[in-house]
Amino acid sequence: MSANASSLDFAPALPPVRTNRAPLWISLLLLLGGVFYFNDLAGWRQAALWIVGALLGVTLYHASFGFTQAWRVFVSDRRAAGLRAQMLMLAVGVLLFFPVLSQGSLFGQPVAGLVSPAGVSVLLGAFLFGIGMQLGGGCASGTLFAVGGGNTRMVVTLLFFVIGSVAATYVFPWWSALPAIKPTSMVLAWGPAPAIVANLVVFALIAWIATRLERRRHGAVISHASRTSRPASLLRGPWPLVWGGIALVVLNFATLALAGRPWGITSAFALWGAKALASAGIDVGSWAYWAKQQKALAAPVGMDVTTVMDIGLMLGALAAASVAGKFAPVWKLPLRSLLGAIVGGLLLGFGARLAYGCNIGAYFSGILSGSLHAWLWLPAAFAGSALGVYLRPWFGLNVEKTAAPAVC
């Protein structure tokens, strides 16, 4: 950050926090019950991943670490604090992940990155996902933590996220046949040291360009991470963005140690949709996408690592919102905003499958895996997000000039 950085007050001093006790106790009891349930169902690792998911929800909520809004305020007003925080997060991440992935094991457990084909489907899917981020109101992680935090509009986004995901699996033969390069890991192809240096140079370049553009627009940059006048609090928030970025890396690394692969989110959405269709009598097992995943379709949903972490994340966000006194669902949604949630959710789900992941599986964990496809995903999703920012007013959605707390 710049030594000349300015500090802006975004809100007046807040009144004393009143914890939302009922949802807090519900979330804590469900989390505790889940520990025993998943330990009995699949063992201690699954129970530990349930807790990791909850801690991810707490982190995302308290740090307001939404990728969607960070990109939106940069596109709309060149405010780049969120982008710089993402680059710092990725830099710390590759320093942790690349040496371990090059060895192929961690604490005696085999580990591998999320490495996928890099091709046309990634570019198309990421572009659609980027549009969906802005219309739906959140990325994959943002959707989950906002749902857990009580954002009722995001429940609609999540529902159609699931529908879009399973729809993409139906047309898998089409998009999987699009031109692509085979899965390529820079860590394995170049070695950990050259891959780390190359990635750090790119992160620094992105942060430098973003900072220059912000300074050119405003004359100074915002370097503080808390976006309210309330001091940072570990339990009540808001957390500085740097806290959030570092915590996400550490928790992703814990996921790697426990699950043998980095954090992902959206594969569970496709599974939920497929199981729902199967329960309605539709033979999804005959679809090409699911033909090789019969075991996942037949197994209890609690056996799926991504599902366990996703639900844990929502409960963690619910606990965080309750402790912060911010759990206050609003059930009335304007029609245009509702339509935006529907369209955005469909684009998010469909795009995530085509791109082999979302802002977590393809961007965050993809880059930490050294996957080439992640570097196609990033510019394509950013371009789609820029278009989505332009389209937001059509759906009655605001385009902020600066980031606000507790939104995605």
| pLDDT for the residue 100 | 97
CB-based contact 80:220 (threshold 8 Å): no
96/118 Cα distance (integer angstroms)? 24
Average pLDDT in the 69-78 region? 92
| pLDDT for the residue 261 | 97
Residues with Cβ within 8 Å of residue 237, at least 6 apart in sequence: 61, 62, 63, 320, 324, 405, 406
**What's the pLDDT tens digit per position in 86-141?**
999 999 999 999 999 999 999 888 999 999 999 999 999 999 999 999 999 988 88
| pLDDT for the residue 383 | 97
Task: DSSP letter for 185, please.
Answer: B
| Domain ranges (residues) in the chain | 21-223+237-395
As a whole number of Å, the CA-based R_g of the chain is: 20
Task: Name the residue among 245, 238, 234 with its Cα closest to residue 61.
Answer: 238
275/265 Cα distance (integer angstroms)? 17
Residues with Cβ within 8 Å of residue 33, at least 6 apart in sequence: none
The answer on pLDDT for 234 being more than 80 is no
CB-based contact 38:47 (threshold 8 Å): yes
State residue 6 phi and psi, 5-degree precision. Answer: -95, 160
| pLDDT for the residue 44 | 97
Average pLDDT in the 149-167 region? 94
Residues with Cβ within 8 Å of residue 283, at least 6 apart in sequence: none
| pLDDT for the residue 403 | 64
Q: Which residue has the higher pLDDT, 10 or 354?
A: 354
357/89 Cα distance (integer angstroms)? 19
**What's the pLDDT tens digit per position in 318-350?**
999 899 888 777 778 899 999 999 999 999 999
CB-based contact 220:3 (threshold 8 Å): no
* Portion of the chain with pLDDT greater than 90, in percent: 76
152/156 Cα distance (integer angstroms)? 7
165/348 Cα distance (integer angstroms)? 8
Segment 390-394 long-range contacts (CB within 8 Å, at least 24 positions apart): 391/131, 391/134, 391/135, 392/72, 392/134, 392/135, 392/340, 394/336
Count of beta carbons in the 10 Å neighbourhood of residue 137? 29
Q: Give the sign of the dihedral formed by CA 104, CA 106, CA 110, CA 116.
A: negative
- Please state, in angstroms and as integers, the Cα–Cα distance from residue 234 to each residue in 62, 239, 240, following that order: 8, 7, 10
Residues with Cβ within 8 Å of residue 300, at least 6 apart in sequence: 41
pLDDT band at 352 (very low <50, low <70, confident <90, very high): very high
